Amino acid sequence: MALEFDYVIVGGGAAGCVIAARLAAESDGTVALLERGRRDTNRWIHIPATFFKALQSRDADVIVSEPDESLGGRPFPVPQGRVLGGGSSVNGMIYMRGQAQDYDDWEGLHGCTGWGYRDVLPVFRAQERNLQFDDAYHGQSGPLLVDGPPAPHPVSARIIAAAVQAGVPPTQDFNGAQQEGAGWYQVTASGGQRQSSAYAFLRPHMHRENLTVLTGHSVERIQITNRRATGVEARTADGAQITIRARREIILSAGSFHSPKVLMLSGIGPQDVLDRHGINVVHAADEVGRNYQDHVGTPVTRRLKGAKGLHGADKGLAALRHGAQYALFRRGLLTSNLLDAGACVDTSGAGRPDVQFNFAPFAPAGPGKPPLNFHALQVHPMTMRPKSRGRLVLRSAAPADDLVFAASALGHAEDLDTLRRGVRLAREICAQGPLQDIIGEEVWPGPDVSTALGSNRLDDAIRAQARTIFHPAGTCRMGPTPSAVVDLDLRVNGIEGLRVADCSVMPALVSGNTNAPTMMIADRAATAILQA
């Protein structure tokens, strides 16, 4: 079976939905959006507080690394959205763009001219309809509703006060003139509805005759003729093979794992990897699959006493009460993204925040362990600009086989040192007055683990608790030279008619959550395609 469209977009995640919507609305061409998962019909996706249920459903899967020496031999699992909307349909809905200097570094340090903060800020503003702020940093007319937390938790308010007492300046806006501070997050949820990329950007255009959305279609490789991408080979949910041809362009928006995988399966990648698996080398590109990076966190956890967090809120009479509040009035806990507060702090004295903290009235257990069965809070430090780099390579030429994923999550000594500083400050925050009448014993790292300089036990505890913050990036990095995977308009070097537009093109991770930057990248890609 063969179909033909002007534009074929591979991956219906945070980026793909933005691109499909704009091309359908603003071009004279036909557009096909292919997503390996299903439509976003799962109710847990749309209720903000139930994102953890969506993550545990068939709408997400997990990429697991090889045993990671930097974590003491433990593998590093990274969940990924597998549904229309991708990560934006299953994430914690924190809206954070990163620092202005991140984008200026893309331009100044990595040579990505035209990607400085002055270039990307107008895109963020154009996409956003911010219900809190109306100023030079925010927009009020875009399709993406951005709001404050609708049900801020009193325990989170106490943690913010404790952070300020510990010396962290307060902030009203992590996306304003300065990122540093402690305060309430902005979130991509409003009125009890998650604002995923599929909901905010794609849904208003689903009626267009020139837009076709094909879910349950796993793209296995790109067809390339005379160094031009001409179509994709996909497999439907029932196992049938299908070819979808592209008259103008193919855009890979399959994420930091699947975009490089499809490139390699198509003969675009490191020559030694392709030769090993008998794949014909169409274009030798050593950078495909390299430069993997992720924010890594390690949550300081304390029991609660005299105050309740969120333990048991999804069970019994409490669950019935929250469900009724949501169903009848669109109020209460279920309207919350749960991760409602945090801080961005300069712990190294270098002049810009290097640790992000999530504050929450609940705390997960260690990686791979069941949830804690008591009320707890977390002050969760995370690396903001990790130095560690991993790599992805093919396990075989079979599209169904998993990648070989070498995470090296804490492979650079500076990342471990950053988390040490983060844990020390988290403990200092927990020691402040606003928390003293509600806080109990330390669960992790534990009272027997010293945070003093030179403590090997702290390092071991960090490695044991280290976990992804769900921000894999960098595996198809853009750059100004042919050695980069894509050029500054996100066109794959060496191949015509093919672009990559998702988190994988970041030359370096931004200092914060990646959902908003990914949608910005997609918007820039759509503009470049429309102007081509």
N residues, the chain: 532
Burial class (CB in 10 A: 0-12, 13-18, 19+), 3: middle
Tokens 């914060």 belong to which residue?
A: 512
Q: What are the phi and psi torsion angles at 194 (to 5°)?
A: -60, 135
Contact between 169 and 182 (Cβ < 8 Å): yes
List 205, 295, 322, 471, catalytic entry: 471
Cα-only R_g, the chain: 22
389 HSE (CA, 13 A, CB side): 11
Q: What are the phi and psi torsion angles at 465 (to 5°)?
A: -100, -10
Residue among 307, 238, 297, 237 nearest 422 (CA):
297
Token code pair at residue 188: 């991509």
Looking only at the bridges linking them, the beta strands covering 144-146 and 128-130 are parallel
Tokens 């010396």 belong to which residue?
A: 167
- Strand boundaries in 253-308, DSSP class E: 268-269, 283-284, 296-297, 300-304
Please give the single-letter amino acid code of residue 282.
V
3-state secondary structure of 85: coil
258 catalytic? Reply is no
- Sign (positive/negative) of CA torsion 288, 290, 291, 297? positive
Q: What are the phi and psi torsion angles at 243 (to 5°)?
A: -110, 130
What angle separates helix 117-127 from helix 100-108, to the nearest 10 degrees? Answer: 130
Q: Is 511 left (phi over 0), alpha (psi -120 to 50) or beta?
A: beta
Alpha carbon distance 304, 291 (integer Å): 40
Contact between 44 and 68 (Cβ < 8 Å): no
Active site residues: 471
